[in-house]
Amino acid sequence: MEPKPDEFTRILKFLETQPLFDGIKEPNLAAIARTSRFKSIAKGTFLFFQTDEADCVYVVRRGAFTIQLENPEGRELIINEMNPGDCFGELGILTGEPRSTSVVAILDSEVLVIPKGAFLAVVEDEPTLTYRLLDITARRLQESSRREEALAFYDAQERLGSLLLALDEVAAEKGYISLSQEELAQRAGLTRQTVATILGRWRRRGWLLTGRGNIVLLNRREIYLLVNK
């Protein structure tokens, strides 16, 4: 069902502001807008689950999502985070395979849902879009390789330290990280108890302060030296 005229206009204007679709022919943008819709997702709600059918591509309009991978033992590992302007879900569409990860909203969020057929039709007609998708995929594979290297060769302290340094690089306020110990454990591939033990050790050394869902880095240099020893 096509969106109402005012909704169609909102979707089209949103697409026109997204770098992924920059320079795409107007008829193709209009074709996407006619078949797409905005969807609100409450914090803590899963957008889709690992092994679900890949039937849509998503572009984040507001909020944030984490990409989660579940291992055979049932443990979840956060492997990426999607923020406004990020596109995800395209890999399953392009390969025809089921979803390889789960996606959950970590804030009250909204996405543009683009159906598989409409997306593939534009990809086939727009080489520029194809190149951009290849670039996105390549960058994510590089990030995945770095994470796998950290999991394979770093011990628990190095993995947690590397994660804290990476989070600090993109933090709105340097030295201030707003994540719970459970979230840190998921991102580092560790248990919550292990994370709590390491943070407690570093707190006693004066490297950081911990609060409910917050970490303040006091001695970034010591953590850096531990990771890069």
For 46-75, how does the pLDDT look when each residue is reduced to its tens digit (9 = 90+)?
999 999 999 999 999 999 999 988 766 666
Q: Which residues contact 190 (CB under 8 A, 6 or more apart)?
A: 156, 159, 160, 184
Q: Residue 186 corresponds to which amino acid?
A: Q
150 vs 117, more confident:
117
From CA 148, how far away is CA 104, in angstroms rounded? 21
Predicted TM-score (pTM) above 0.85: no
pLDDT digit string, tens, across residues 68-113 = 887 666 667 888 889 999 999 998 998 899 998 999 999 999 999 9
Taken as a whole, the chain contains a residue count of 229
Return the sign of the alpha-carbon dihedral for residues 92, 98, 100, 102: positive
> Looking at residue 73, what is its pLDDT?
64
Task: Kindly report the backbone phi and psi dihedral angles of residue 168, in degrees, each rounded to the nearest multiple of 5, phi listed first.
Answer: -65, -30
Please name the helix (run of DSSP H) or strand (run of DSSP E) that holds residue 179, with its range, or none: none
Name the amino acid, one letter, at 222: E
Q: Please name each of the domains of the chain with its CATH number.
A: 5-152 (2.60.120.10), 154-227 (1.10.10.10)
Answer yes or no: is pLDDT of 199 > 70. yes
